[in-house]
């Protein structure tokens, strides 16, 4: 059975973001080490919904930010698909605290379902160890 873990990271929404647009999420992975990786927003989610037969699997584009001691140190965008999986995983390994277990995958949840609209605040980064 695959374990889904977040190294003790807490998923929380940042409150009071004055410039928040409808698609900003501000989910943070708090390592309690002064370093935070924040899912700022999902820019595009073209993943093939469950229950639909598609020509290609699709992809999801996210914007993430890294804060060290509450100061922005890096902000970047990733398109997560089969071809970029290793690059995305390497970036997260570089920015997260060391773990006894190897990071196997980074994904975005929830996965789209036919006829169901995903609200921006529902998106989460999922780390699989």
Domain of 102, in residue numbers? 10-128
Average pLDDT over residues 12-29: 38
70, part of any domain? yes
The yes-or-no verdict on residue 79 having pLDDT over 50 is yes
Does 84 fall in a domain? yes
Indicate the length of the chain as a whole number: 129
Calculate mean pLDDT across residues 95-124.
Answer: 91
Cβ of 113: how many Cβ atoms within 10 Å?
Answer: 12
Q: Is residue 48 included in any domain, yes or no?
A: yes
Q: What is the predicted pLDDT for the residue at 32?
A: 62
> The whole model's pTM is what?
0.73
Beta pairing, strands 124-128 & 105-109: antiparallel
Predicted confidence (pLDDT) at residue 74 exceeds the cutoff of 50: yes
Alpha-carbon span 128 to 80, nearest angstrom? 14
What is the domain count for the chain? 1
The answer to whether position 99 is within a domain reads: yes
């Amino acid at each position: 059975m695959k374990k889904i873990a977040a190294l003790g990271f807490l998923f929380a929404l940042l409150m009071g973001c004055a410039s928040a647009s409808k698609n900003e999420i501000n989910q943070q992975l708090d390592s309690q080490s002064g370093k935070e990786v924040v899912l700022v927003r999902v820019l595009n989610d073209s993943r093939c919904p469950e229950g639909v037969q598609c020509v290609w699997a699709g992809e999801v584009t996210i914007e993430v930010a890294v804060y060290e001691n509450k100061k922005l140190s890096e902000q970047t965008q990733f398109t997560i698909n089969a071809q970029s999986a290793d690059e995305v995983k390497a970036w997260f390994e570089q920015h997260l605290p060391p773990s006894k277990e190897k990071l196997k995958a980074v994904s975005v949840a929830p996965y789209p379902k036919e006829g169901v609209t995903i609200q921006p605040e529902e998106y989460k980064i999922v780390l699989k160890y």
